[in-house]
Amino acid sequence: MIAIGSDHGGFHLKQEIMKHLDELGLAYHDYGAYSTESCDYPAYGEAVAHAVASGACERGILVCGTGIGIGIAANKVHGIRCATCSDCYCAEMSRRHNDANILALGERVTGVGLAMKIVDAFLNAEFEGGRHARRVALIGQIEEK
């Protein structure tokens, strides 16, 4: 299950991503926003992050205007490693090397076609473990301080 959320600035791209997930046959839960009415991105970043951190959802996708603010909000939740990505390589490597569990995108800076490729890169990549596991564990130690 994929947790997905956006604020008003990411609403349209979120809708496109949900269509794409439907086409791929992937299950998701939409944590809002449900319109383009102005709202506050931290609430949606937090909701998706809690869904992923609790294990209710395996991964998450967040969208705001740039992906930055909503990603910062998600990263405040213990156990979350949210990567704001604007290209496929970074999305793939965020999974392979950093075990990112949430992808953040920006509707105002990323076109729909590229966004779908970034989503695919993120969802299809797996954590490599090995030396990267040690580094991710070190991130967890920082989080515990």
Instruction: Tell me the catalytic residues.
Output: 64, 97
Provide DSSP, 8-61. Answer: GGGHHHHHHHHHHHHHHT--EEE-S--SSS---HHHHHHHHHHHHHTTSSSEEE
Strand, helix or coil for residue 4: strand
Strand pairing partners for 104?
62, 84
Alpha-carbon gap, residue 15 to 106, rounded angstroms: 13
Strand pairing partners for 103?
61, 83
